[in-house]
């Protein structure tokens, strides 16, 4: 019985990891209009290309936009984009961006 419980627990954990990965891609959809489908564009011709940024760098930037401590020309626009994102969502989208190498 313990083995069945361990297998079910393992499947539940694996399933939740898949949801997180899909969630990052899904969350990035609202970014793609400006940044491109993989982060390959300068948003509105003003931002850096974010494709392949390290997870930590993206998390720091998004949290900075959210609290108003990061950004230049796009600061106001980006603050609105990340305002509703929680830490888990920021981490998910950051991992998605990092994977776009």
CA torsion sign, 23 to 51 to 80 to 68? positive
CA 70, CA 84: separation in Å to the nearest integer? 17
Confidence category of residue 12, pLDDT binned at 50, 70, 90: very low
Confidence category of residue 80, pLDDT binned at 50, 70, 90: very high
CA 89, CA 96: separation in Å to the nearest integer? 11
Domain-by-domain residue ranges, the chain? 22-98
Instruction: List helix spans (H) across 36-84.
Output: 55-67, 75-82
Confidence category of residue 74, pLDDT binned at 50, 70, 90: confident
pTM: 0.76
**pLDDT per residue over 20-67, tens digit each?**
445 999 999 999 999 999 999 999 999 999 999 999 999 999 999 999
Q: How many Cβ atoms from other residues are within 10 Å of residue 53's Cβ?
A: 19
CATH architecture of 22-98: Orthogonal Bundle (1.10)
pLDDT over threshold 80, residue 18: no
């Amino acid at each position: 019985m313990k083995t069945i419980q361990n297998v079910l627990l393992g499947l539940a954990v694996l399933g939740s990891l898949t949801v997180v990965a899909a969630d990052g891609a899904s969350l990035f959809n609202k970014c793609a209009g400006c940044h491109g489908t993989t982060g390959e564009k300068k948003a509105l011709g003003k931002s850096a290309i974010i494709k392949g940024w390290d997870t930590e760098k993206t998390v720091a930037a998004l949290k900075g936009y959210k609290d108003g401590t990061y950004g230049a020309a796009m600061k106001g626009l980006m603050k609105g984009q990340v305002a509703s994102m929680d830490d888990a969502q920021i981490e998910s989208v950051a991992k998605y961006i990092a994977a776009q190498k």
